[in-house]
């Protein structure tokens, strides 16, 4: 059986694609080229399904949620707040898994930030 090798891309609709790409670059440090190619660090990736009625993604109209691994969650959340981003106040910790925080991008997409347990 053939198997997928990893995440090949994540695509977002946007009313202003250039501005949204700039937000990801400037707010999260996502260093993608003009075609969106980004060389990410090696590490774990989670692929999980949720109940249709979940509020975990924010609004019910958001069908999926992007999760980024971060080295220092507190520093990232502080950086995002200083830049005026919509950062959720709560931070959650799952023993053996890591810590989680959330930010909403300028187009209303809720993003999860994950500092893996180390």
Phi-psi region of 81 (alpha: psi -120 to 50; beta: other; left: phi over 0): alpha
- Read off the pLDDT of residues 18-75 as tens digits, 9 standing for 90 and up: 999 999 999 999 999 989 999 999 999 999 999 999 999 988 889 999 999 999 999 9
What pLDDT was estimated at residue 42?
Answer: 92
Domain membership flag for residue 46: yes
Domain membership flag for residue 103: yes
Residue ranges making up the domain that contains 96: 42-116
What pLDDT was estimated at residue 2?
Answer: 86
Confidence (pTM): 0.89
What pLDDT was estimated at residue 101?
Answer: 97
The CATH number given to whatever domain includes residue 58 is 3.30.720.110
Q: Count CB-CB contacts under 10 A for residue 77.
A: 21
Phi, psi of 12 (to 5 degrees): -120, 135
In total, how many domains does the chain have? 1
What pLDDT was estimated at residue 31?
Answer: 93
Domain membership flag for residue 21: no
Domain membership flag for residue 12: no
Domain membership flag for residue 109: yes
Which of 30 and 6 is assigned the larger pLDDT? 30
């Amino acid at each position: 059986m053939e198997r997928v090798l990893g995440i090949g891309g994540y695509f977002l609709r946007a009313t202003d694609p250039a501005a949204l790409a700039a937000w990801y670059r400037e707010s999260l440090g996502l260093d993608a080229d003009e075609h969106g190619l980004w060389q990410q660090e090696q590490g774990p990736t989670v692929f999980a399904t949720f109940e249709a009625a979940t509020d975990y993604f924010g609004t019910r109209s958001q069908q999926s949620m992007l999760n980024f691994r971060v080295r220092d969650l507190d520093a990232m959340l502080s950086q995002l707040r200083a830049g005026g981003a919509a950062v959720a106040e709560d931070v959650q910790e799952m023993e053996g898994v890591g810590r989680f925080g959330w930010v909403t991008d300028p187009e209303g997409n809720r993003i999860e930030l994950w500092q893996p347990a180390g």
